A and B are shown apart, each in its own frame.
Chain A
Amino acid sequence: MTLDVLYFAWLRERIGLRGEAVETDAATVAELVDELRAREERYAAAFADMAAVRVAVDQELRDLAAPLAGAREVAFFPPMTGG
C-alpha cells in the first residue's frame, strides 16, 4: 500500500521533509517506524526516542501498536503544545 507520511515540528526539521509517499507492507505504526529507521541516519535520529513522538493515523491520535490496514495518512510529531 502507499501511505502519505507527514512530519511536523522537529521531526520535520530532522528528517528534512514535510511529508512523502511511502510504499510499505507494514502492518502497524511500529513496523512502519522500523522501516523508516532502517532507511537513513536522519530517520533513525528522528525516531530514536519514541517516547518523544506522537502519531496520528488518518488524523486520529493512535499508539505504536495501531494497525495500518486501510489507512491513508500517518503523521509523526512531538507532544502537542497548543493553547
Chain B
Amino acid sequence: MAVRVQAEDFDLGAELAGLRAGRADIGALVSFTGLVRDLGGRLTGFELEHYPAMTERALAAVEAEACGRWPLQASLVIHRFGRLAPGDQIMMVATASAHRQAAFAAAEFLMDFLKSRAPFWKKETTAAGAAWVEATDADEAALARWSGGG
C-alpha cells in the first residue's frame, strides 16, 4: 500500500512490475491511468495545484478505506502536480487481489474518491483564457454510490 505525490512523470510498466515483484499470490492486477486531454487541440496549458500538507494524508485515507472494503494484496496511488502537457500522465491507481472483482471494484472506488476528496485542482488554458476545471454533479454521484457498503 503506497501513495506518492510528485511533479515527475512515472513509468506505469515499472510500477506494475514492482507491485508484483517477488510474489505469486496475486491473481489480478488492475490499473487506471489519468491523462491530460487536449480538448480537441484547443488546450495550450495545464496545471495541477495541490495542498501538500493534506494531499498524502487524504490519499492514504482513501487507500486505507479501500483496503478495509476489499481483500487487496497491494495497491498504489501516484498523483502528479505542477505544469503538464496534453497527453501527459496525471495519475495512476493500481490494485492487486486474488480475484479480479475486488481489484476492479477497489480501483474504481479509489478513483471516485480521490477525484472529489483529494485536494487537487486542475487549471486548463486555451486560446479563450485560463479556467479552473469545475467539479461535476457526476463526480459526486459517482462517490455516492459507494455509501452504504461496498
CB within 8 Å of B: which residues of A? 6, 8-10, 12, 56, 59-61, 73, 75, 77-83
Contacts and interface: CB of A to CB of B under 8 A. Distances in A.
B134 interface: yes
B114 A82 contact: yes
Given A6-B51, A56-B54, A77-B51, A83 B123 contact: no
Interface string B112-136: 0011111111110000000011110
Given A8-B49, A81-B115, 5 more contacts: A77-B51, A81-B135, A82-B48, A82-B50, A82-B121
A16 to B, nearest CB: 15
Contacts, number: 73
Nearest to B133: A81
Contacts of A9: 49, 121, 123, 132
B49 A82 contact: no
A9 B134 CA distance: 11
A79 B51 contact: no
B145 interface: no
Q: Which of B91, B118, B135 is most buried by chain A, counting CB atoms within 10 A of its CB? A: B135
A79 B135 contact: yes
